[in-house]
């Protein structure tokens, strides 16, 4: 490992954040010990403190990382050629799998973050950013005749996101995977029909 190059430090930071993200995801914030993270990284505890002032600060930066992941994820879906694929069993299936693996899908981390004023503000900010880009996009799509002019896309989109999170939560509470998948496919289809013009939907299929 080249330690003298200037980029090294930034790379190391990045590495710590991504590894910590994994561990936080698996064990939750409170059950994750700095020792756990250090062990996973294969370094000593002290090394982490060279990059992050405290566990709280590390969590802060991990959450920032998660938010950007989420944003990128949402954007990539919206901007994809086939937004209808959201309404597939596969789409939710992937989420479910990750939820079952990590026992949380990060929902508890977001809830933990919601208890912190600074992080809550940051979350609101990112949410707004996503929403703004989303609205720009849909305005364009309305003009191009892809989605209905009178559709309240904000409502539909918020509904889809909430449905996803709520269903993930139900999975964690023991709901059956098949039930959850069926629910997702049925309801997202209903919601998307409210938004997309018939003609376009047929083509998408």
Partner DNA sequence: CATGAATGAGTTTTCATTCAT
Partner DNA sequence: CATGAATGAAAACTCATTCAT
Binding site for DNA (CB under 7 A): 1-5, 8-9, 12, 31-35, 43-47, 49-51, 53-56
100 contact, one of its own copies, DNA, none, CB 5-8 Å limit per kind: none
Residue 180 makes contact with its own copies by CB under 8 A: yes
Is residue 137 involved in binding its own copies (CB under 8 A)?
Answer: no
Orientation angle between helical segments 34-41 and 6-27, nearest 10 degrees: 120
Q: What residues form DSSP beta bridges with 147?
A: 196
Please, which of residues 67-96 interact with its own copies by CB under 8 A? none
CA distance 28 to 21: 10
Residues in 22-51 at the binding interface with its own copies, rule: CB under 8 A:
28-31
Contact 61, 69 (CB under 8 A): no
C-alpha distances (whole Å) from 77 to each of 29, 118, 127, 160 are 29, 28, 16, 12
Among DNA, its own copies, none, the one that 173 touches (CB under a kind-dependent 5 to 8 A) is its own copies
CA gap 15, 20 in Å, rounded:
8
Which of 150, 173, 202, 205 is the binder for its own copies (CB under 8 A)? Answer: 173
Q: Quick check: 184 and 167 in contact, CB under 8 A?
A: yes
4 binds, among its own copies, DNA, none (CB under 5 to 8 A by kind): DNA
Pair 40, 23: CB distance under 8 Å = yes
Q: Provide, rounded to whole angstroms, the least separation between the CB of residue 40 and its own copies.
A: 18
Residue 133 interacting with its own copies (CB under 8 A): no
33 binds, among its own copies, DNA, none (CB under 5 to 8 A by kind): DNA
């Amino acid at each position: 490992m080249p330690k003298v190059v200037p980029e090294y430090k930034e790379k190391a930071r990045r590495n710590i954040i991504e590894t910590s993200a994994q561990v936080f995801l698996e064990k939750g914030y409170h059950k994750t010990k700095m020792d756990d993270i250090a062990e996973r990284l294969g370094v000593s505890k002290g090394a982490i403190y060279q990059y992050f002032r405290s566990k709280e600060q590390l969590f802060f930066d991990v959450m920032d990382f998660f938010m950007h992941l989420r944003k990128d994820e949402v954007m990539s879906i919206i901007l994809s050629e086939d937004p209808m694929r959201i309404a597939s069993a596969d789409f939710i299936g992937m989420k479910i799998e990750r939820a079952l693996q990590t026992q949380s899908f990060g929902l508890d981390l977001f809830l933990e973050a919601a208890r912190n004023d600074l992080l809550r503000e940051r979350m609101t900010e990112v949410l707004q950013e996503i929403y703004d880009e989303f609205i720009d996009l849909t305005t364009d799509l309305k003009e191009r005749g892809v989605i209905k002019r009178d559709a309240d896309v904000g409502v539909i989109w918020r509904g889809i996101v909430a449905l996803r999170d709520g269903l993930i939560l139900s999975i964690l509470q023991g709901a059956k995977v098949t039930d959850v998948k069926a629910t997702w496919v049925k309801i997202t289809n209903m919601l998307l029909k409210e938004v997309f013009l018939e003609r376009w939907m047929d083509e998408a299929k």
